[in-house]
């Protein structure tokens, strides 16, 4: 949507996980509440990162290759920083809903899965409402389509992109807190999600939140079925094969325009 290939996005997710871990282990704060407390700090961090990116690369028209290298550098710097600070051991959080399950007949739903799922759906719905019903949200959707027309509407495309990028980093911190609720984390885990993140965005349709949700469910089901019947090593190959097959018939993605 912003024409920014933020390959370091999973690094901010891991950073959000470790911030939730610190607040939980030191002060006993619920990890999801901890992510909301840290949300303004991550928003400001995202705005700062975009400003550096804009001044160093985008303003000079060098965002394609050098900008990609910039985000690769951020990815590895943040990973090494977390390793130096916390080591390579897995870290986990404690909360009342980690452990119990919701029993519905013969089915058991672990609350450590149910609650992050509910929070994720609420977050997706809030973002969809914000982007479709507010002026700034519509400006974010329009900035990648026609920046000049956006200027005629008295909106600065650079400021709009700064807010959008900051918003993406802030929501990544919440995703990190949800991740550490679901499973223990260690610093290098973020690299495992780079391919999946891009596959889900492309498969669902760029800029489409309903498409992203549908693509995440489909890709997760394909990986789970494949790993169950054929082994975990086959699941990424089959999932990305499913992605390529879908794009061959619908290049814009499932709900892309």
Query: Which pTM was predicted?
Result: 0.91
Which residues in the chain show pLDDT less than 70?
1-2, 62-64, 257
DSSP 108-127: EEEHHHHHHHHHHHHHHHHH
Under a CB-based contact definition with an 8 Å cutoff, are residues 10 and 170 in contact?
no
d(C-alpha 180, C-alpha 172), whole Å: 13
Residue 16's alpha-carbon distances to 19, 87, 116, 181, 210, in angstroms, are 5, 16, 14, 12, 24
CA pair distance 201, 213, nearest whole angstrom = 9
User: What would the two tokens of residue 205 be?
Assistant: 């349709």
φ, ψ of residue 253 to 5 degrees: the values are: 100, 175
Q: Is 116 left (phi over 0), alpha (psi -120 to 50) or beta?
A: alpha
16: burial class by Cβ within 10 Å (0-12, 13-18, 19+)?
buried
Which pLDDT score is estimated for 1? Answer: 60
C-beta separation of 218 from 203 below 8 A: yes
- pLDDT tens across 145-176, in order? 777 777 777 778 889 999 999 999 999 999 99
């Amino acid at each position: 949507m912003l024409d920014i290939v933020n390959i370091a996005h999973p690094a901010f997710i891991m950073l959000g996980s470790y911030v939730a871990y610190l607040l939980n282990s030191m002060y006993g704060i619920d990890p999801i509440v901890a992510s909301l407390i840290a949300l303004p700090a991550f928003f400001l961090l995202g705005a700062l990162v975009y400003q550096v990116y804009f001044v160093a690369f985008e303003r000079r028209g060098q965002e394609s290759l050098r900008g990609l290298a910039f985000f690769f550098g951020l990815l590895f710097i943040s990973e090494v920083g977390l390793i130096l600070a916390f080591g390579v051991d897995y870290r986990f959080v404690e909360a009342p809903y980690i452990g119990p399950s919701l029993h519905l007949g013969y089915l058991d739903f672990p609350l450590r899965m149910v609650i992050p799922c509910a929070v994720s759906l609420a977050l997706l719905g809030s973002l969809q409402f914000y982007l479709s019903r507010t002026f700034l949200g519509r400006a974010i959707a329009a900035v990648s389509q026609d920046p000049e027309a956006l200027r005629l509407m008295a909106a600065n495309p650079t400021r709009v992109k700064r807010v959008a990028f900051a918003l993406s980093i802030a929501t990544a911190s919440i995703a990190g807190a949800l991740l550490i609720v679901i499973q223990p984390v260690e610093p290098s885990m973020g690299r495992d999600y780079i391919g999946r993140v891009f596959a889900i965005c492309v498969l669902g349709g760029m800029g489409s939140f309903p498409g992203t949700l549908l693509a995440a469910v489909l890709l997760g089901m394909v990986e789970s079925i494949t790993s169950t019947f054929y082994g975990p090593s086959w699941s990424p190959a089959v999932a990305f094969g499913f992605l390529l097959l879908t794009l061959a018939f619908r290049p814009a993605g499932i709900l892309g325009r």
